[in-house]
Structure 1
Amino acid sequence: MGERRKAGQNVPGNNGKFFPEDSNGNIIEGTYDTPVGEVRVKKLQKAKHYDVISMARAMNDNFAQRTKELFEPEVEAVKEATESGIYVSLRPNRPPHDDQDCIRVNASGRCFCSHLLKEHTSFTKNRNVPCAKDNCKCKRFMYAPGRPEEFGEFWLRKRRDFDPKAYRMKCSCKHTHEEHECYPSPYRCRAKGCGCSAFNSASVCAACDMHWQDHDTVFETEQERKQAGRQIREDWLPFSELPALRDIAVTGVDNPNVETLADALPPSMRDKLTQSKDRPALPPR
């Protein structure tokens, strides 16, 4: 990627700038040696269309695949909800923010108690969904963000020693949710010598900028969501208001053709999402 250069205000040819610039004031593409290590600068290209997708493409390598990986758990949650009729989401617990779902939760979502949703009892009308594991005190499923991007810690993945499987949401006391009591509220810390009496997330939600304790995990039937005017089925997919970006999140392919999109969708969603003014009807299977 470009030639290797030295960065610094005193480097000949940089004209007093830390990074050399072209006649338009843009940093010249290349790999730079800096006092803090190697820095790579990509060439800036004007987007053909001023829209969110063009900008995201320009700023991210492997944009389509990375988008799919980021939203795959939520797409899976939509598929499960469409089949079961039960919708699970993490949602702010006070207005006006409670009109949105911050995170769609699937069966592999982790509870504050450390066990997965599928390790809890089945959904019933009382909405509690307690843990089914022996000796667990958990009285109701409370989703705990399982990936750093969900609660504004996307930078953690850049660490060489980061283990995504070991990631757990932390309290401001620096101990994870698994080191706190899962019952009763407000979930005091069990770590030796820690005087923390209540769990307060150290990070905030990427969707609403609020702390974990300002959210509830909500279980709803499809009919309840419909009556409340909330999205259901394919309309609940990430970026449903931006079909082109939605299709990328579902398939991992930039501008997927109709067959690729159909293969990524459950049968109940295929007809509606694969037919539009820009696409031919889905061929019979």
Structure 2
Amino acid sequence: MSPPLAVLEGDEVEASSQHRQAKPRKPRGQKKKAAAKTGVADGTMQAVVPAGKAELVLVAKAMHRDHFGKHVEELFHLEKEAALKALRTGLYVGWRCPEYLWDCFRVGDHSKCFCGHLLNEHQAYAGASVPCATERCECQSFTFIPSRPEDVGEFWLRRRAPPESFAWRAKCRCEHSHEKHVPRASRPCRVAGCFCKCFESTFLCAACDRRWEEHETFFETTEARKQGGLPYGENYLLFAEMPELRNAVLTGKLSDDSAYQALLAEPPGPSGSHALPLPSPDPQRPPE
């Protein structure tokens, strides 16, 4: 998941992207469900969510001028790393609502689990659960949780304190962070005197406006994504259908497509059907 473009200054923009549905808050309804069914099963570029205000991208570019490309690169660097690794390995880790045909967030090695540890601190995916490898951690399967205020649309928080001293944590309605909750089953709070029996997020996904509890973490091979009608290969890159923004994410420059061309020149990554076992039908989640 990543936030809308003009959020570089705290504004909201709705842009056409197969991996984004960033837009102003509004009631959930049938329109969103209908949009989730849009897609092409052959892996070609697909604009899952039609642009409603694509012209605002031009406004965002005008606002930031020469700094726009670099800001986009910084904002999406974690997802860029995750996408590039997926292309190399053939294993895609995504966070989304189950009915969606796009990922709200591309999950990579430095993405955080509900237990508080990073993905690269968990065991390697082997077709089943992905338990934490950190000693004495109770986590039995990696479950992505946002780790930056930008991930949930709270962009203004980053400007209120120096980055090196700022430590944002996703919180429950009980006002305690996810790291204060048990990382399995219903995820009750550990804090003494707190009677919270399950983690209920106080934030919304910046990509789709739905709660953390409505999302799940998926570990999928290339073949699994082909079969499910989800983007894969170069179409898994951020803003794959918007060349200038894609270039900005990869290089920090709107007109520099050298990184993209280099990717196209590389041999295809491992086939999901050969390199890795297919994931189980259900998304990865801690057992009840």
Write the distance in 1 (CA, Å) between the matches of 2:261 and 2:193.
50
Deviations 1:35-94 (A, max 9, x none): xxxxxxxxxxxxxxx83432111233621111001111111111110111100011113x
Write the distance in 2 (CA, Å) between the matches of 1:206 and 1:191.
28
- Count of aligned pairs: 213
**SS of residue matched to 1:213:** helix
Match status 1:55 vs 2:56: no
| Aligned residue identity for 1:79 | L
What residue is the counterpart of 1:72 in the other structure? 77
Write the distance in 1 (CA, Å) between the matches of 2:209 and 2:244.
26
Shift of 1:195: 1.5
Q: 1:213 to 1:55 in 2, by over 3 A?
A: same
What residue is the counterpart of 1:214 in the other structure? 214
Q: 1:215 to 1:58 in 2, by over 3 A?
A: same
Q: 1:242 to 1:176 in 2, by over 3 A?
A: same
Shift of 1:161: 5.2
Query: What percent of counterpart residues are identical?
Result: 40
What residue is the counterpart of 1:143 in the other structure? 144
Residues 1-285 of structure 1 mapped to structure 2, 5 A cutoff:
51-60=55-64, 62-93=67-98, 95=99, 98-126=100-128, 128-160=129-161, 163=164, 166-184=167-185, 186-256=186-256, 261-262=257-258, 264=259, 267-270=262-265
Shift of 1:162: 5.7
Structure with higher strand content: 1
**SS of residue matched to 1:174:** coil
| Aligned residue identity for 1:269 | L
Write the distance in 1 (CA, Å) between the matches of 2:159 and 2:166.
15
Instruction: Give yes or no for contact 2:109–2:118 (8 Å, CA) kept in 1.
Output: yes
Instruction: Give yes or no for contact 2:247–2:260 (8 Å, CA) kept in 1.
Output: no
Instruction: Give yes or no for contact 2:102–2:231 (8 Å, CA) kept in 1.
Output: no
Shift of 1:168: 1.5
Instruction: Give yes or no for contact 1:90–1:104 (8 Å, CA) kept in 2.
Output: yes
Q: 1:242 to 1:267 in 2, by over 3 A?
A: closer
Q: 1:206 to 1:65 in 2, by over 3 A?
A: same
Q: 1:118 to 1:265 in 2, by over 3 A?
A: farther
Q: 1:253 to 1:149 in 2, by over 3 A?
A: same
**SS of residue matched to 1:217:** strand
**SS of residue matched to 1:56:** helix
Write the distance in 1 (CA, Å) between the matches of 2:163 and 2:63.
23
Instruction: Give yes or no for contact 1:129–1:141 (8 Å, CA) kept in 2.
Output: yes
Q: 1:266 to 1:141 in 2, by over 3 A?
A: farther
Deviations 1:92-125 (A, max 9, x none): 13x3xx2221000111111100111111111112
Query: Which structure is richer in relative contact order (CA contacts within 8 A, separation 6 or more)?
Result: 2
Shift of 1:239: 0.9
Q: 1:165 to 1:246 in 2, by over 3 A?
A: same
Deviations 1:219-275 (A, max 9, x none): 00011101212111211111111111111111111322xxxx32x459543479xxx
Unaligned runs of 5+ in 1: 1-49, 273-285
| Aligned residue identity for 2:213 | Q
TM-score normalised according to structure 2 size: 0.69
Shift of 1:138: 0.5
Deviations 1:162-217 (A, max 9, x none): 65762221112111110111012x20111222221111111100011011111001
Write the distance in 1 (CA, Å) between the matches of 2:86 and 2:61.
30
Structure with higher helix content: 2
Instruction: Give yes or no for contact 2:204–2:211 (8 Å, CA) kept in 1.
Output: yes
Unaligned runs of 5+ in 2: 1-53, 268-288
